[in-house]
């Protein structure tokens, strides 16, 4: 499977996402994310791209297998992860 792993610009080179792994239904989007240059494998992340990340808070869920996203967490507006989610939601595929 092809990978298009890029560094998320707003995290100072810490976080990487695989833009080719993205899949979604409606505004719900999932993707593989990892800590750049880490030996740890990536995790799957899911969110609703229609959320107002910087106004009313947002939710993100994680999964090890890309299928079971039961680890859902709600965050305050502009809290950790919103810049990554916005980057992935707004990135154009190749």
pLDDT digits (tens, 9 = 90+) for 66-83: 899 988 888 887 666 788
**Sites in the chain below the pLDDT cut of 70:** 1-2, 78-80, 92-94
Task: Specify the DSSP class assigned to residue 83.
Answer: H
93: number of Cβ within 10 Å: 7
Which token pair is 6?
Answer: 């890029």
Q: What is the pTM of this model?
A: 0.86
Q: Is the dihedral of CA 91, 65, 53, 39 positive or negative?
A: negative
**Residue-level pLDDT at 2:** 57
Each domain of the chain, given as residue ranges in start order, spans 5-90
């Amino acid at each position: 499977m092809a990978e298009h792993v890029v560094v998320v610009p707003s995290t100072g080179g810490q976080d990487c996402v695989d833009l080719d792994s993205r899949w979604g239904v409606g505004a719900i989007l999932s993707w593989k994310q990892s800590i750049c240059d880490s030996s740890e494998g990536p995790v799957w992340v899911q969110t609703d791209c229609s959320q107002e990340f910087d106004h009313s808070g947002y939710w993100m869920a994680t999964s090890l297998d890309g299928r079971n996203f039961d680890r859902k967490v709600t965050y305050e507006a502009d809290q950790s992860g919103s810049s990554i989610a916005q980057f992935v939601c707004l990135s154009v595929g190749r």
